[in-house]
Amino acid sequence: MKIQSGSLWWLMHHELRLYFRSAKVKATHLISIIIALVLLHVVAVPIAYLLKKMPVITPTSLLVILTVALAALLFLMISRGLVTVVDAVYTRGDMDLLLSSPLAPRSIIGVRAAAIAITLCFEAAFLIWPFANVFVLFGFFGWLKAYFVVPAMSMLACTISMVIGLGLFRILGARRTRVVAQILAAIIGMCFMLLGQLPNLLNSGANKSKLLSPISSWSTESVLFMPAHWVNAGLLSTLLLTLTCVAFFSLMIYLLGERFIQASSESASLGVAKPTHKSTKTFHFNTELNHILIKKELRLIGRDPALLTQLLMQSVYMLPMLFIVWQQHGDGLPWHWLLIIFMLGQTASALAWITVAAEDSPDLLMTAPVSKAILVRAKTAAALLPLAPFVILPCLSLCRSYPLFGLLITLCASGCCIHLALRHTHNPIAGKRGDFKTRYKNNVGQSLIELAIIIFWASVCALLTWLSTKY
């Protein structure tokens, strides 16, 4: 069927094509996606079987679980939505083209928002619907509601993301909006990760009662549980929830559409530098070579919030492991501190890649009368310096109770960081800072070697600690 040019469907097709192309969904990826979907269905089977065997939970517990799940889903979607909204409305740069066309501006914004909601829905559905499919087959028909709840939540998340994006734009301007949106998204993502650790925290009886006591005192009639009630009550109330989200979404486009258009047009001209009218200060340069080399690298890292948030997220993803190790130790030694070797090692490697391999202006450095060895040394130092306080942290924290363990962790973490940083100086994988997340995409072996190095240093530390306790 041929879609009529300029129609809403045609515009939606264009938006989704842009999304899939930016996500680089190629034929090979499509096969991976299908395999992942099949695997998720397979994983869902034993879970469904276990659910079937489990005793029926109380309505209050069900409401709490539903509320937490809905909140987690919403937070995750907002975290993704915020970055997508800022990119699609303020930074992609094609709004000028679309708005200069004879299409109705409100339709353009409406379709773009709908496309964002659809992409959010795709991403969440990918993880949730395979489980829903299997659970329904096992007789949990309530899971049919997932086919309404996920699109509804994606529309709500898109609405909230767009409103936050617009608010940030009005308060902070275009350039800062992007930065703050990325930081906010990272913080929301971090909260989601921490929320995911609730089961680990609840393993201990004391923690469980501490955490659940305020929740158990809440009335089930509380407004907080209203969405959970709607989802739980029946298909009609779920449909009502879906319709409410659609209404919010439509209302947002109707009421704020013009403002989005205005903000988008303004953002096109806001990135340009403007003259500053500060006092005519004179310069005080410091041209000591090592000083300026290190300062330049630290400035470039410190002023790149996108990079910082990605670095932060990389560490946040280690948190589940931390919680698991925290729960496991039974011999008196705080083994969870070993995880700092993983966190610092990963961060050191990432920073070394940024400073050594992702140099923005290699030609400038190559034409400078400075030897390569000096440049590499300074860049490695710049990568490791920010980690120094964290390396001595275990030593300081453990010096009273476990001084030897603290010292060993500090030494092994230092060794791990230096080892990984030197790998980048001897075997750099050139790239651009913007490609930080995908730096090992075509080089999976490198990330495996990196992991092996980290495991090696953590094992050395564990072994030496164990030996010291034995002898």
Partner 1 sequence: MQNSHAMPPALLVRNLRKSFTRPAVTGIDLTIQAGEFYGLLGPNGAGKTTTLRMIAGLLKPDQGSIDVFGVDVIKDPLAAKRLIAWVPDEPLLYDKLTVTEYLEFIAGLWQMDACEAAKNAQALLERLDLWAYRDERCEGFSRGMKQKAALAGALIHEPTLLILDEPLTGLDAAIARQVKDLLQERAKAGCTIILTTHILDVAERLVDRIGIIQSGRLIAEGTLATLRQQAGAGTSLEDVFLNLVQAPIAKNSEEPV
430 binds partner 1 (CB under 8 A): no
284 binds partner 1 (CB under 8 A): yes
- The mark string for 285-304 relative to partner 1 (x by CB under 8 A, - otherwise) is xxxxx-xxx--x--xx--xx
Nearer to partner 1, 24 or 175 (CB): 175
State the nearest-atom distance from the C-beta of 289 to partner 1, in Å.
6
377 forms part of the interface with partner 1 (CB under 8 A): no
Taking the complex as a whole, how short is the minimal distance between the CB of residue 185 and partner 1, in angstroms?
20
CB burial of 340-379 (b: ≥16 within 10 Å; e: otherwise) equals bbbbbbbbbbbbbbbbbbbbeeeeeeeeeeeeeeebbebb
Q: Closer to partner 1 at the Cβ: 277 or 426? A: 277
Considering only residues 62 to 121 of the shown chain, the ones binding partner 1 according to CB under 8 A are none
Task: With beta carbons less than 8 A apart as the criterion, state whether 394 and 409 touch.
Answer: yes
Minimum gap (Å) between residue 355 Cβ and partner 1: 12
**415 CB-near residues (< 8 Å, 6+ apart):** 457, 460
DSSP result, 141-199: GGGGGHHHHHHHHHHHHHHHHHHHHHHHHHHH-HHHHHHHHHHHHHHHHHHHHHHTTHH
The stretch near partner 1 (CB under 8 A) out of 150-158, 189-197, 261-269, 283-291 is 283-291
Please list the alpha-helical segments (H only) found in 223-338: 226-233, 235-270, 289-302, 305-316, 319-328
What is the crossing angle of helices 174-195 and 235-270, to 10°?
Answer: 150
Residue 361, interface with partner 1 (CB under 8 A)?
A: yes
Closer residue to partner 1 (CB): 287 or 328: 287
Nearer to partner 1, 37 or 300 (CB): 300
Distance CA 159, CA 155 (A): 6
| 371 contributes a contact to partner 1 by CB under 8 A | yes
Q: Which residue lies nearer to partner 1 by CB, 121 or 358?
A: 358
Please, which residues have CB within 8 angstroms of residue 358's CB and are 6 or more apart in sequence? 430, 431, 432, 433, 435, 436, 439
Residue 363: partners with Cβ closer than 8 Å, 6 or more residues away: none
Helix axes 372-384, 289-302, angle to 10 degrees: 50
Q: If binding is defined by CB under 8 A, does position 369 make contact with partner 1?
A: yes
295-354 residues in contact with partner 1 (CB under 8 A) are: 296, 299-300, 303-304
Q: In this chain, which stretch among 150-158, 327-335, 362-370, 387-395 interacts with partner 1, using CB under 8 A?
A: 362-370
3-state secondary structure of 466: helix
399: which DSSP letter? T
> Does the CA dihedral 14-15-21-24 come out positive or negative?
negative
Asked if 370 interacts with partner 1 (CB under 8 A), we say yes
Nearer to partner 1, 142 or 305 (CB): 305
Instruction: Report the candidate in 89, 258, 77 with the shortest Cα–Cα distance to residue 160.
Output: 77
Number of residues that bind partner 1 (CB under 8 A): 37
Could you give the string, one character per residue 167-206, with x where binding to partner 1 holds by CB under 8 A and - elsewhere? --------x-------------------------------
14 or 377: CB nearest partner 1: 377
- Please pick, from the candidates 272, 373, 444, 452, the single residue that binds partner 1 as defined by CB under 8 A: 272
Residues at the site binding partner 1, with contacts judged by CB under 8 A: 175, 271-278, 282-289, 291-293, 296, 299-300, 303-304, 360-371
